[in-house]
Amino acid sequence: MVRPALRRDVVDYVVSHYGLTMRRACRLVKQPRSVQYYRSVKDPRRELRARMREIAHTRVRYGYRRVHVLLLREGWQLGKNQAYRLYCEEQLQLRSKLPKRRKMVVTRVAKIVPAKPNDAWSMDFVADQLADGSKFRTLTIVDVFTKEALDIEVGQRLRGEHVVSALNRIAVRRGAPRHLFVDNGSEFSGRLLDMWAYHYRAKIDFSRPGKPTDNCHIETFNGSFRDECLNLHWFETLGEAKAIVEAIVEAIVEAWRRDYNESRPHSALKELAPAEFARQLVLSSGSTEPETPENSL
């Protein structure tokens, strides 16, 4: 059955191209004239559409679900289906970068299932380059339970000592983890991280070689970090000084990390931001922040 909206377009085409009257065109297409003359009285919600476009243009990798959550936070009244319809009508859909393939799905039992903050941290490196072609790396550290981005270290060469230094800063602020999820890189398998883990009694869980899904938490975060931060900024050098270059990159990265923790809705946390979820845990349990260790490595 042809939709009335499509029939109206056909009638308009016949009238404009063949010079027929509206009466004859409607009779030819077999559509009542009342349908042709009908105009919707539904509120077009132009202000909402404009705000939706602003959010989508600012956060270009957000789908309609996260845009819907942000609109609800601002006080807009709309359902998820209405948000999807307006999102599609404004042509804001995202295109998937990954090809669809058939895969064998195997359900694995997780070795460690965190039940509270600081049960497990996950970390990995993300590589990128500046406008002049010089490369730099970022060390990302995430709390697996709360999904918080605990720290993002930026540098042109990051080694084991930089990993330990970043962990020390976090441990002073919120305590040490019980487990660390890492891959088999030399920065994680060296003696420095092993000594740090021994000092804080943290167990290091290495991924199997060639199995990035073993550390899927940090892989998911790094994908969002690259799409929503690194790929949206063109890092340029203001001079040959390395400190200036790193300061520029660190400022942008730190701004994105704070936005990820405080604003970005996370589907695994019932559309709450990670920091908000962590605060609700503290309020519901009635406990305070974990005690910070007196000594650090």
238-289 pLDDT per residue, tens: 333 344 445 655 676 677 778 888 888 888 888 888 888 888 888 887 654 4
> Position 50: which residue type?
A
- The residues, ordered by sequence, that sit 6+ positions from 8 with a Cβ below 8 Å of its Cβ are 31, 35, 36
Can you give the pLDDT at residue 68? 92
Q: Which two tokens stand for residue 2?
A: 């042809």
Can you give the pLDDT at residue 237? 54
- Tell me: pLDDT of 297 over 70: no
Can you give the pLDDT at residue 120? 92
Can you give the pLDDT at residue 108? 40
- Tell me: pLDDT of 109 over 50: no
Can you give the pLDDT at residue 172? 92
Return the half-sphere exposure (C-beta side, CA atoms, 13 A cut-off) of residue 185.
Answer: 17
**Contact indicator for 4, 36 with CB cutoff of 8 Å:** no
Can you give the pLDDT at residue 162? 92
**Strand boundaries in 9-161, DSSP class E:** 120-129, 135-143, 149-155
Can you give the pLDDT at residue 177? 92
**Contact indicator for 170, 150 with CB cutoff of 8 Å:** yes
Q: Which two tokens stand for residue 51?
A: 């705000």
Can you give the pLDDT at residue 83? 92
pLDDT tens per residue, range 121-158? 999 998 888 777 778 888 999 988 888 888 888 887 88
CATH of domain 120-285: 3.30.420.10
- The residues, ordered by sequence, that sit 6+ positions from 278 with a Cβ below 8 Å of its Cβ are 117, 143, 146, 148
CA distance 236 to 211: 34
Return the half-sphere exposure (C-beta side, CA atoms, 13 A cut-off) of residue 118.
Answer: 18
The model's pTM is 0.56
Can you give the pLDDT at residue 43? 78
How much is the average pLDDT of 188-201? 89
pLDDT tens per residue, range 232-244? 777 665 333 344 4
Quick check: helix, strand or coil at residue 139? strand
pLDDT tens per residue, range 58-107? 777 788 888 899 999 899 999 999 999 999 888 888 765 554 544 433 33
Our measurement of the distance from residue 162's CA atom to the centroid of its chain's CA atoms, rounded to an integer in Å, reads 25
pLDDT tens per residue, range 10-50? 888 888 988 889 899 898 888 888 888 887 777 788 899 99
